[in-house]
């Protein structure tokens, strides 16, 4: 084990090891309109992990069974009834890299209502699926995709009860819009729950010319809706990122007319994906592509702080492990930073896990099984899902590289390098 020191933080460098495994054949029914299902070989699953293909020719939700050992087996794919899209570079209009939506949370799951929702960035819509709680890789499209209330939707979130969904739009018409969840007819617009951001954007969204959105999330008590907006340092003018906060009316779920802003302290500038801090009603930890990570106390900004990290690329995504009590910040350059947040909302790096067999780490999510927690990360440059077993604080271990590209292509599902999002569902005991 090699010890490194980053910004006065001693962290261990642990190399991922593991072989790539290829899933068995997948089954698909239907085409891009309506519901398309593809079934791989079934396994005895304890849960499922999901992502979307985000292709311009048709968007699919892909489901993988989670085994009792945390490892994945590709199982099924479902057409969302919409199409994907991809951010473009300023001045050229050319798509940029594998991170098509520049966001976290392109797909979201509610264990409370057994529902899944996802964005269709190219058709400016949101789709809703029911999850079979006894077979979580079995999804049913509910109703028709609905308008996202803006352009280029990139992130979605459920409230605690799973009866409300909000979406974050990042294109020419940007902001948030919320829907009630009807398990028979699908998503229904909530009156006075569409609000706008003043971003000078295009459809599809443009990087390198101004701020782009990152993620939408409910507060821990469902009284506020949060949306991260990334900054833009080179300018002119230089723009500082922030978290927009709308109050939610308890009686009708409408949003306040105006939003408040929480800005990062010190040199934090680009809040990207963020996660609620457990045990805190108004605190989140946000990945910051220009800094490392930032802890926001939305009720008292004097308690907010940023931590510099010597990244390999840019820290963009985050997830929480109940078993270890720590947060996992994913660096697109090929590293995962395990972070502890103490009772005073001070953050520190516990461990750094580096990858030698891939460089394109991406959106991730954690599944808490009975015996252990597991972190699932898209690795876009190699079209795999990387699996880490979170055995204890500072003891994560890479256990699987699942090849998804070859299986999807052999099943006739369009796929390039634009897979997005990651969500998990665990069977109730």
Q: What is the pLDDT of residues 166-225, one digit of tens each?
A: 999 999 999 999 999 999 999 999 999 999 999 989 999 998 656 899 999 999 999 999
CATH number of the domain residue 283 falls in: 2.130.10.10
Residue 417 has pLDDT above 70, yes or no: no
pLDDT at residue 278 greater than cutoff 70: yes
Euclidean distance between CA atoms 117 and 175, whole angstroms = 18
What is the per-residue DSSP string for 62-79?
EEEEEPTTS-EEEEEEEE
Cβ–Cβ < 8 Å for 181, 162:
yes
Q: What is the CA radius of gyration of the chain?
A: 20
Distance CA(134)–CA(427), nearest Å, equals 7
Please give the tally of structural domains in the chain: 1
Q: Which two tokens stand for residue 46?
A: 């304890």
pLDDT confidence of residue 12: 30
Q: 40 with 26: CB under 8 angstroms? A: yes
The dihedral built from the CA positions of residue 148, 149, 154 and 157, taken in this order, carries a sign that is negative
Round to whole Å and give the CA distance between 153 and 177: 10
pLDDT at 259: 98
Lowest-confidence region among 52-61, 175-184, 355-364: 355-364
User: Using 50, 70 and 90 to split pLDDT, how confident is the model at 139?
Assistant: very high
> In the prediction, which pLDDT does 4 show?
22
Confidence band, pLDDT 50/70/90 cuts, at residue 381: low
pLDDT of residue 69: 96
pLDDT at 39: 54
pTM above 0.95, yes or no: no
- Say whether pLDDT at 13 is over 80: no
Cis peptide before 219 (omega within 30 of 0): no
Out of 67-76, 142-151, 369-378, 403-412, least confident range = 403-412
Other CB atoms within 10 Å distance of the CB of residue 108: 24
Mark out the alpha helices in 170-283 (DSSP H runs): none
pLDDT for position 359 = 66
Question: In this predicted model, which residue has the larger pLDDT, 93 or 79?
Answer: 79
Query: Which of 95-99, 211-215, 238-242 is most confident?
Result: 211-215
The domain of 227 spans 2-426
Mean of pLDDT over the chain: 87
DSSP assignments along 369-385, one per residue: -SS-EEEEEEEGGGTEE
Among candidates 374, 395, 369, 396, which has minimal Cα distance to 385?
374
Q: How do residues 25-48 score in pLDDT, each as one tens digit? A: 344 433 333 345 555 555 589 999
Give the HSE-up count for residue 409: Cα atoms under 13 Å, Cβ half-sphere: 10
End-to-end alpha-carbon separation of the chain, Å? 38
Strand, coil or helix: 301:
helix
Give the H/E segment covering residue 410.
Answer: helix 405-410
Q: Which helix (H) or strand (E) holds 335?
A: strand 335-341
Whether residue 68 is predicted with pLDDT greater than 60 in this model: the reply is yes
At 382, phi and psi to the nearest 5?
Answer: -120, 5
Could you tell me the sign of the dihedral formed by the alpha carbons of 61, 81, 418, 406, in that order? Answer: positive
Q: Is the pLDDT of residue 341 over 90?
A: yes
Residue 300 CA to residue 281 CA, distance in Å, equals 12
Q: pLDDT of 285-301, one tens digit each?
A: 999 987 799 999 999 98
């Amino acid at each position: 084990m090699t010890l490194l020191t980053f910004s006065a933080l001693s962290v261990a460098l642990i190399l991922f090891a593991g072989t790539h495994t290829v899933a068995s054949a997948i089954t698909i029914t239907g085409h891009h309109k309506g519901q398309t299902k593809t079934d791989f070989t079934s396994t005895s699953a304890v849960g499922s992990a999901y992502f979307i293909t985000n292709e311009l020719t048709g968007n699919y939700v892909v489901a993988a069974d989670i085994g009792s050992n945390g490892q994945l087996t590709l199982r099924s794919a479902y057409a969302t009834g919409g199409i994907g899209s991809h951010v473009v570079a300023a001045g050229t209009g050319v798509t940029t890299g594998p991170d098509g939506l520049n966001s976290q949370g392109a797909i979201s799951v509610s264990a409370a209502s057994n529902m899944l929702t996802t964005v269709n960035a190219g058709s400016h819509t949101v789709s809703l699926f029911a999850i079979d709680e006894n077979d979580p890789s079995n999804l049913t499209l509910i109703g028709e995709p609905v308008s996202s209330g803006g352009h280029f939707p990139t992130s979605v979130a459920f409230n605690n009860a799973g009866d409300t969904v909000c979406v974050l739009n990042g294109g020419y018409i940007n902001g948030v819009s919320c829907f009630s969840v009807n398990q028979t007819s699908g998503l229904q617009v909530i009156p006075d729950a569409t609000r706008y951001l003043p971003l000078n954007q295009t459809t599809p969204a443009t990087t390198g010319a101004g701020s782009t959105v990152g993620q939408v999330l409910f507060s821990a008590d469902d009284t506020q809706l949060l949306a991260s907006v990334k900054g833009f340092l080179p300018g002119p003018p230089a723009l500082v990122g922030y978290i927009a906060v709308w109050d939610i009316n308890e009686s009708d779920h409408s949003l306040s007319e105006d939003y408040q802003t929480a800005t990062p302290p010190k040199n934090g500038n680009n809040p990207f994906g963020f996660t609620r801090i457990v045990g805190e009603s108004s605190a989140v930890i946000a990945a910051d592509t220009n800094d490392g990570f930032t802890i926001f106390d939305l009720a008292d900004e004097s308690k907010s702080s940023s931590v510099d990290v010597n990244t390999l690329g840019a820290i963009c995504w985050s997830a929480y492990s109940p078993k270890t009590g720590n947060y996992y910040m994913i660096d697109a350059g090929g590293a995962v930073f395990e972070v502890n947040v103490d009772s005073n909302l001070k953050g520190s790096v516990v461990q750094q896990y580096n990858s030698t067999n891939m460089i394109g780490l991406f959106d991730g999510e954690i599944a808490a099984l009975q015996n252990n927690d597991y972190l699932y990360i898209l690795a876009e440059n190699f079209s795999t899902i990387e699996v880490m077993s979170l055995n204890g604080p500072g003891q994560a271990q890479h256990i699987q590289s699942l090849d998804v590209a070859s299986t999807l292509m052999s099943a006739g599902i369009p796929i390039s390098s634009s897979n997005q999002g990651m969500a998990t569902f665990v069977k109730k005991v």
